[in-house]
Amino acid sequence: MSVRTGQAQSIYAKPERQADLVELRDRLRDTFANRDVLELACGTGFWTESISERARSVVATDINEEMLEVTRAKDWQCRPVTFGIADAFSPETIPGQFDAAFVGFLWSHIGREDMPTFLNRLNRRLPSGALVVFIDNRFVAGSSTAISRTDAAGNTYQVRTLADGSRHEILKNFPEESELLAVTRKLSPPVADASVEAVKHFWMLSYHAPGAEQGTR
């Protein structure tokens, strides 16, 4: 089992998180209804299942073939979903026309110093006004794995133990609402309408992409 596969199973299995997950999945069904959605880092397809219930189409991508094998094995009959290998940092390589994008549980694994580059590339891949949604963890003592260290850039890390007993240190940031909004305002061009909603264990950031055409003015 890969570190990422083990992480996904752990995130979604904790009993205290189930009510929050139900609420967020319901929100995503409504949010992406009748939209053409680009999903980055889809992992095991946990969020893809909800998004694809009402979306017009979903292109779900991940850089890890092992993760996509797990995802493809699920029942996608009558769902408008296609899957593909893609680097989330290179969304310009993904073919298709989209009016929305979704990224689940990737923000926390990107260094703070790299977030502007990641977001600018995603925004420039989308048309002006496309809806962009991120979901990720909040740190909750007793539920979240303890922070093992913090580096000079302010990135935090956790040590995860997998079912096979192996231990791995991973980057795992827990940004507050003020940080999320500050990052979007500093993009080129800046995002003007970002908003953050939070439940106990998770946050959701939403905004409309400025688009490539605004960035070249």
Q: Which residues pair with 130 in a beta bridge?
A: none
User: Do the strands 167-171 and 156-161 form a parallel or antiparallel pair, or are they unpaired?
Assistant: antiparallel
Question: Which tens digit of pLDDT belongs to each residue from 198-209?
Answer: 999 999 999 999
Q: Is the peptide bond before 175 cis (omega within 30 degrees of 0)?
A: no
Cα separation of 58 and 35, whole Å? Answer: 8
What integer pLDDT is reported at residue 161 of this predicted model? 87
Cα separation of 168 and 21, whole Å? Answer: 26
For all residues of the chain together, what is the average pLDDT?
93
Residues of the chain with pLDDT > 70, as a percent, come to 92
- Please compute the mean of the pLDDT values over residues 137-147 and round it to a whole number: 96
> What is the CATH architecture of 3-140+176-208?
3-Layer(aba) Sandwich (3.40)
What integer pLDDT is reported at residue 30 of this predicted model? 97
Question: Which phi and psi (to 5°) does residue 15 adopt?
Answer: -60, -40
Closest CA to 160 of 146, 143, 149: 146
Token reading at 29: 């069904």
Of 162 and 45, the one with more pLDDT = 45
Map out the domains of the chain as residue ranges.
3-140+176-208
CA 132 vs. chain centroid, Å, equals 10
Residues of the chain with pLDDT > 90, as a percent, come to 88
Tell me the pLDDT band of 6, cut-offs 50, 70 and 90. Answer: very low
What integer pLDDT is reported at residue 81 of this predicted model? 98
What integer pLDDT is reported at residue 214 of this predicted model? 43
Provide the residue type at 134 as one letter. Answer: F
* Strand ranges for 99-186 from DSSP E: 100-104, 131-137, 147-150, 156-161, 167-171
pTM here? 0.92
> Is the pLDDT at 16 greater than 70, yes or no?
yes
What integer pLDDT is reported at residue 212 of this predicted model? 57
